[in-house]
Structures are given as C-alpha cells and as structure tokens.
Amino acid sequence: MIWNEKIECASRDEMTHIQSENLIKTVKRIYHNIPSYRAKMQEKGLLPGDIKSVEDLSKLPFTNKSDLRDNYPFGMFSVPMSEIVRVHASSGTTGKPTVVGYTRNDLQMWAEVVTRALCMAGVHKNDIVQIAYGYGLFTGGLGLHYGTENLGATVIPISGGNTKKQIQLMQDFGTSVIACTPSYALFMAEIMEEMGIAPDSLNLRGGIFGAEPWSENMRREIESKLELKAIDIYGLSEVVGPGVSCECEQQAGMHVNEDHFIPEIIDPETLEPVPKGELGELVFSTVTKEGIPILRYRTRDLTRLNYQKCTCGRTLVRMEKCTGRSDDMLIIRGVNVFPSQIESVLLEMSETEPHYQLIVEREGTLDVMKLLVEVQEQFFSDEIRELEALRKKITANIQGTLGISVDVKLVEPKTIERTSGKSKRVIDNRKI
C-alpha cells in the first residue's frame, strides 16, 4: 500500500514545485528566527529573497553538528518554547548532546513520514509491531511508535533490552514485525537459538532495521536466521529521527520523504555538489519543520541518489544503503577503512560470527589495527593448530579486502559486548 500516493508518486516537476515553495518559507523563517544561521547567510551576502527555488539550494551555507552543540540546548529552535511539545537528543560520542525540539505540527509530520515508511516496508493495519528501539531521548522508539499507531497497526512498546522477554512476547503476542537495530536483531536470533526456539515457530514476517550501518551480507544473515524480510530504515535526530527514508519491498534503495527533507550529495572535501548518481556525503534541508528547521545539514553519511522511478510505483528519490560515514571512516596507514568492509568479510566466512571489535592503536608512528573476532561455537577448538589456521585465514581475507595488515585475535563466542542499541564496533585509541 502507498500511504500518500499523491506525494510519493508525484512527477519530478510537481515535487520540485512543492519543495521550492516550502524552501522559500523555511529560509525566511530561519533567517528571521535563528541568529547563528542569519549570521552565516550575511557572511555570504545572502538575503532570503535570493533563494527562489531548489535550484538555489547550493548557495546556502551548511549546518554542522557543531552548530547545534554551540547553541546548546535550545539556541537553534525557531519558535518560543511554549510551542515546543517534545524534545529529543542524540548522545553522540563526545561532548554535549544535540537537542532537537518538535512542535505539534512537527510530530504530526513525523508520524506521517514514519507511516509512509512502514507502508513502504509492507507493514499493514493487521500487523503486530514490536518496537525494540530504545524509548527516551533517542528518536528510535517514539518515532516508530507514533508512525505505527498512525497506520493503525498494533504497537508493542517494549523498548530495547531484556532479550528473553522480547522473544517470549514474540511467541505469546504473535509479533509479526520487529523494529530494532540490525545488530540487536542478530543478537535476538542468537538468544533464540540458545533458547531452542525455531524462527518458523514465530509469526515474524518483517523487520524494520536501522540507526546504524549494515551490509547486504548482514541483511541475508538476518533474513535467514529470523525468517523475515529485513527492511532498511534511515534517519537522524537533527532532521527528524527515523522515517527520513526507508526501503520499499523491492529492497532497492531507501525512498526519501523529499517533500519534507531535500537531499543533496556533496564531495566532503570540496563541499561542492557531485554529479548526479555519484557517491558522496548526504546533506539535508528540512522544508516543513517548525521547531528546528535546518538548512543543508551535513550528515557525514556516504551514499548516492537514484532518481529513477521505482518498480513499486513511487517516484520519491532513493538513497543507496549507507556505506559508512565520512567521519567513521578510519584512515589507517593512509588507507581508508570502513568497518562495514570487515563485517562483510566475516559474514562471508562460515566459521565466524559477525560480531567483532576493531581496536586501532598508534605504536610509534605506525597505526596498528587489532581485530577481535568471535568464532562460531562449533569451530572453537582446543587445538591450537586449528585455531591458528583459522586466524591466518581470517587475516588473509581481511588483508585481501582492505589492502592493509591486521592483527586478528580470535575470541570465544558471545564474548564481545552486545547492546540493544547501536553497536560500538571501533575503538580508536590513537591520539592524532
């Protein structure tokens, strides 16, 4: 089902028209209400009247995560606090969290885009949706919650963690759709196996997975272990939360709700837009938000855009699965390394689990990369020779893919920390 056919199947001309009208309003709103962004526009000699359509988007200055931090907590809000009905925040890795505020209209818009996303994923009114994203300041839980209610499906608001109970409720309530991070989905599959519960004894048919990067291999693993269709959902708190984009049942890119969030792809070095279809950093401008409208927000996520009409009938532009972030990309001895590449190698090997931790140290002037890898139970042996052979095999496979050496250490199954939220795959101890 397509939730809002008029918008989701609009022609490019219609979409550009809607975007341009709302962009003009948003630029005015921001210029008049957010002093820090006004100052950036003034620096460039720009007045709101200079922005006449989406064609002019690239004239505008960027917004960075640091702008939100510098204006902590509410300095980027464009309405009085009496209009704000909810706040969320994202913790980030360092410093103060970034805080976002929603007006009543914003919450309605957010519910609408999440509902569209769920329909894209093939969820319908009769589904029972277990929401195992964290509820709280994180946008995952409440974001999915209101979108699911708006669709009319049944919500189980269990939040993250308490894995055995999650599985028990799946059994007892007949959960048909699970929403959580992909790494938590894999963890649940592991616990299910331990509990002796076969996936076909459950009613699960769909999974709405996002909030962290995951590979196509990981998708296949989750789909086969949980016997469901795994759908990728994307979003970030600064833009709205989950529902910025989502895959449809074709699993061929995530449709961006571009009547609300206009995407651009830029070269993260030159900051210039890249030619259509090329890989680069994703930038968003929100054009309907009231609480905290944001122009040209640099997501640091790397992807490309596809403007072709999808076989599902939607014309909303699609973004490819994010291959990583321009800033979690590790540069090790001059080589760009994405944690997702390592994950892919491990998933291709039958002896290993996709649970790993990458520890980067600097010894003298040299970067050293240590990789802890969990070995599958049946391959974990007392024979040093066997383990050493396996270690060498993993090392060779990783080196073959990344082009740099890595010090692999095998660890016992289930020893790398699991979380119900975003997994922490990389520990970078270098002081650069």
> Which residues contact ligand DLL (rule: CB under 6 A)?
90, 133, 139-140, 210-213, 232-237, 241-242, 299, 301, 322, 325
Q: Least CB distance from residue 198 to ligand DLL, whole Å?
A: 27
Q: How far is CA 346 from CA 212, 271, 368, 420, in A?
A: 18, 34, 20, 21
Nearer to ligand DLL, 176 or 237 (CB): 237
Q: Which is nearer to ligand DLL, 20 or 115 (CB)?
A: 115
Residue 234 or 261 with smaller CB distance to ligand DLL: 234
Least distance to ligand DLL, CB of residue 413, Å: 26
Nearer to ligand DLL, 91 or 399 (CB): 91
The residues facing 156 across adjacent strands are 130
CB 165 to ligand DLL: min, Å: 21
Residue nearest ligand DLL, CB atom distance: 210
Our CB check for ligand DLL shows the closer of 29 and 325 to be 325
Q: How far is the CB of 211 from ligand DLL (least distance, A)?
A: 4
Question: What distance in Å separates the CA atoms of residue 204 and residue 425, rounded to the nearest whole number?
Answer: 28
Q: How far apart are CA 311 and CA 322, in angstroms?
A: 21
Contacts of 108 (CB under 8 A, 6+ apart): none
Distance from C-alpha of 202 to C-alpha of 170, rounded to nearest angstrom = 7
Shortest spacing between CB 213 and ligand DLL, in angstroms:
4
Write down the least CB distance from residue 228 to ligand DLL, Å.
16
Q: How far is CA 311 from the centre of its chain?
A: 24
Count other Cβ atoms within 10 Å, centred on residue 382. 6
Residue closer to ligand DLL by CB (options 20, 237) is: 237
Taken as a whole, the chain contains a residue count of: 432
81 phi and psi angles, rounded to 5 deg: -55, -25
CB 256 → ligand DLL: shortest distance, Å? Answer: 12
CA-closest candidate to residue 97, choices 238, 245, 200, 212:
238
Cβ of residue 55: shortest distance to ligand DLL, in angstroms?
26
Collapsing DSSP to helix, strand or coil, 432 comes out as coil
Q: How far is the CB of 300 from ligand DLL (least distance, A)?
A: 7
* Alpha carbon separation from 306 to 218, 279, 405 (Å, rounded): 23, 11, 35
Which stretch of DSSP H or E encloses residue 243? strand 241-247
Give 18 or 158: the residue with its C-beta nearer to ligand DLL: 158
Q: What is the DSSP letter of 174?
A: T
* DSSP letter string, 299-357: EEEEE-EE-SPPTTS--S-EEPPP-EETTT-EEETTEEE-HHHHHHHHHH-SSEEEEEE
Helix (H, G, I), strand (E, B) or coil at 124: coil
Q: Of 210 and 293, which has the nearer Cβ to ligand DLL? A: 210
Q: 147 vs 345, which CB is nearer to ligand DLL?
A: 147
